[in-house]
Structure 1
């Protein structure tokens, strides 16, 4: 069969399996198994399956994944979100939008230590939504800023999504982590800028300002941020200065999370056991998907489809900007039907050769991919952050999706900015590792 026919057949098979509700990992394994039968030379499919899954799972680098997941689970069960809200709120009273900026800042801070978009969105929303509603802030902007800022959990390192991408694309986890810092701050600045502009354009929909707080009281409230600030500094500094590998940083993060939980009195045996089981379930799901993706990747490599596809894209002579625009549209469409991790493991094998041919750095592309995954988190009907906020706010899905729409377009703007100015992504990895 021709390469195009094989590609179409495997794509249709994958679509049928996913549409039928078959688990993503099983679908990937099945497509890889079928793909191996188009390879000549009598290659033993069973042996390739066993060695591929074991080789990609027994990885020291991948050990960071369950540790970062566990760190997020531990912090999810502490009072960290409430303390961040209390610590940040007094300093924002003079800025247009006032406490709405707490959504962005708190999600950025919590996201940097949780690594999970869902955990970030749910944890911050749990305390922010009631507080903002009580103070009379606009519901639509409150919901939209939480939906958008909740995605910072996967952009500001450490990030579970970044670990999965780095393993799938065979690039350095530390470099991808370092590359995510400045784009994370860029997205936070875009979100806060939108809130400022919206507040200035709609002064009648803003509640009156709160009484000014003495400096000593502000400092006392902000002291609640010290434990999490120390944890963030520990993880960031270890990565930045090369004191520890990504896996070792994850272990330090877990230790710091346990220390914070103990200091807050939240480290009970039931909470400890629940955090372990939650981390185990999520890690097993991700590892199963990665196993299926690794086998499908090997199968695709044997068939030669990725190389043929990359050559075909190269023959179109698309400009780099045209290629990125096409990939952005493709991922926005995929985001309406798949979750972020699935998008990464389903497409990385095929897309990486394309972007290398176009001259893009795989580390830069990892941040691009995280940004489009963020779009998927706020895109109906499968945007997980929309589900979280729908449940927590009691509003219907259409309302939450409409509220998040401006922040979706801000993510599109962020993709455009890092494409035109790639050094925003690459400056820190180049400083740490050289060009």
Structure 2
């Protein structure tokens, strides 16, 4: 087993280090594992596995949610959201810094993507908060950290990937992500309040007081966003639609919303569709490679032997989770979130199941840890997005995001101590 693990790990490092696409690296690992350690016909297994992985009905939701996010990315949704939220934030300690947190949370609930959330909100809030004199490091940190909510709050693309890779219910995973997402929002806003109380001189003065009627009038701009959230997530939780059907509902609503806003024409429609096709095919290719690797690992018996070896160490579930947290954070420093999920699923799940850990809970745990890796160099996607938007050094942005890395780690600890934060809604959904 040690020889096999060493050979496959070195091969993976060589392929990834030489710039080979992640999907090809996964296929290469699977091919090497079968060819070197089994007598199974490799080509036949690869062909049948890739074919079977390409027509999963659950995967249909993936391009639909990505398309919805692409449409909204090109609409005026972020601008309307900022205008609707800012009057309510003026008297809260931290003031308009909370628009980054709450705005990212709302946009995450309709985009499903961390990078899209970061780019869309950043276009609006970075220049506006900078013009008003808010602390530069905190503006960058809140945006980098809060944008990771796009991975967790449903509809989450990475949760769909995890569900397909592990044969779990997408709807249950979506429901499981709601309370942890709200928990992280609460932690982020609480930190901003404490920071503003500690450094009141670094928070710009509030704008002129806005009347309650004016606040309500400007809040009307939030109605399209809230309607979209209710249409997508509400239809799943109410049992009116499957995740795939809800994705189609979301696309239809977002197209209508963009049309009403005047943000839809032939060129925008074409760009959104092509963007969705490119992203979807990339993810589908990675999933096909991951599916083949999973089958290959089954033939080599590496996951079961590794799980048996871990069992001999007699690690408690908490120690196993601690080890996995460190492992995923390190791996996330070099790979994007989806690649981390598909690369490790086939090897990690036997250990997790052997430890008696609920797979729905583990999916949320994994996504939060992957969120943490989105703001760690050298491959922190949110850091890249903000670097491209601001031109600032990536280490400067990473240091600004460090407190939010710690808050996400606190979130992991809390869901470990109180797993009902994750499991309550899926269990309630299953009992209906």
Q: Do 1:38 and 1:303's aligned partners in 2 also have CA atoms closer than 8 Å?
A: no
Q: 2:368 matched to which residue of 1?
A: 371
Q: d(CA) in 2 for partners of 1:332 and 1:363? A: 20
Q: 1:21 matched to which residue of 2?
A: 19
Q: 1:382 matched to which residue of 2?
A: 379
Matched, 1:171 2:162: no
Q: d(CA) in 1 for partners of 2:166 and 2:412? A: 20
For structure 2, list consecutive stretches of 5 or more residues without a partner in the other structure. none
Match of 1:33 among 31, 48, 55: 31
Q: What pairs with 1:56-95 in structure 2 (closer than 5 Å)?
A: 56-95=53-92
Match of 1:264 among 251, 261, 264: 261
Deviations 1:83-135 (A, max 9, x none): 00000011111110010000000000001100000000000010001111111
Q: 2:42 matched to which residue of 1?
A: 45
Q: d(CA) in 2 for partners of 1:147 and 1:43? A: 46
Q: Do 1:332 and 1:372's aligned partners in 2 also have CA atoms closer than 8 Å?
A: yes
Once the 2 structures are TM-superposed, how far is the Cα of residue 58 of structure 1 from its aligned partner? Answer: 0.5
Deviations 1:302-344 (A, max 9, x none): 0100101111111111111111111011111111111111111
3-state SS of 2:195 partner: helix
Q: d(CA) in 2 for partners of 1:242 and 1:292? A: 33
Once the 2 structures are TM-superposed, how far is the Cα of residue 38 of structure 1 from its aligned partner? Answer: 3.7
Q: Do 1:337 and 1:381's aligned partners in 2 also have CA atoms closer than 8 Å?
A: yes
Q: d(CA) in 2 for partners of 1:4 and 1:362? A: 27
Matched, 1:96 2:71: no
Once the 2 structures are TM-superposed, how far is the Cα of residue 434 of structure 1 from its aligned partner? Answer: 3.5
Once the 2 structures are TM-superposed, how far is the Cα of residue 394 of structure 1 from its aligned partner? Answer: 2.4
Q: 2:431 matched to which residue of 1?
A: 434
Q: 2:273 matched to which residue of 1?
A: 276
Matched, 1:4 2:2: yes
Q: d(CA) in 2 for partners of 1:203 and 1:270? A: 47
Deviations 1:192-250 (A, max 9, x none): 01100000000110111111101111111110010110110111111112111110010
3-state SS of 1:392 partner: helix
Matched, 1:240 2:237: yes
Q: 1:120 matched to which residue of 2?
A: 117
3-state SS of 1:256 partner: helix
- Residue range with higher mean Cα deviation, 71-80 or 210-219: 210-219
Q: d(CA) in 1 for partners of 2:63 and 2:15? A: 28
Q: d(CA) in 1 for partners of 2:379 and 2:23? A: 18
Q: d(CA) in 2 for partners of 1:72 and 1:62? A: 16
Q: d(CA) in 1 for partners of 2:272 and 2:373? A: 26
- Alignment size in residue pairs: 432
Q: d(CA) in 2 for partners of 1:325 and 1:6? A: 25
Give me the TM-score of the superposition, normalised by structure 1: 0.98
Once the 2 structures are TM-superposed, how far is the Cα of residue 43 of structure 1 from its aligned partner? Answer: 2.3
Once the 2 structures are TM-superposed, how far is the Cα of residue 39 of structure 1 from its aligned partner? Answer: 4.5
- Residue range with higher mean Cα deviation, 386-395 or 169-178: 386-395
Q: Do 1:157 and 1:181's aligned partners in 2 also have CA atoms closer than 8 Å?
A: yes
Q: 2:389 matched to which residue of 1?
A: 392
Deviations 1:135-181 (A, max 9, x none): 11100000000000000111100011111111111111111100000
Q: 2:284 matched to which residue of 1?
A: 287
Q: d(CA) in 1 for partners of 2:135 and 2:37? A: 59
Deviations 1:256-301 (A, max 9, x none): 1101001101110000000000000001111111111111110000
Q: Report runs of 4+ in structure 1 exceeding 3 Å deviation.
A: none
Q: 2:323 matched to which residue of 1?
A: 326
- RMSD across aligned positions (CA): 1.0
Match of 1:424 among 416, 421, 425: 421
Q: 1:229 matched to which residue of 2?
A: 226
Once the 2 structures are TM-superposed, how far is the Cα of residue 398 of structure 1 from its aligned partner? Answer: 1.6
3-state SS of 1:221 partner: helix
Q: What pairs with 1:102-181 in structure 2 (closer than 5 Å)?
A: 102-181=99-178
For structure 1, list consecutive stretches of 5 or more residues without a partner in the other structure. none
Once the 2 structures are TM-superposed, how far is the Cα of residue 399 of structure 1 from its aligned partner? Answer: 1.2
Q: d(CA) in 1 for partners of 2:116 and 2:363? A: 21
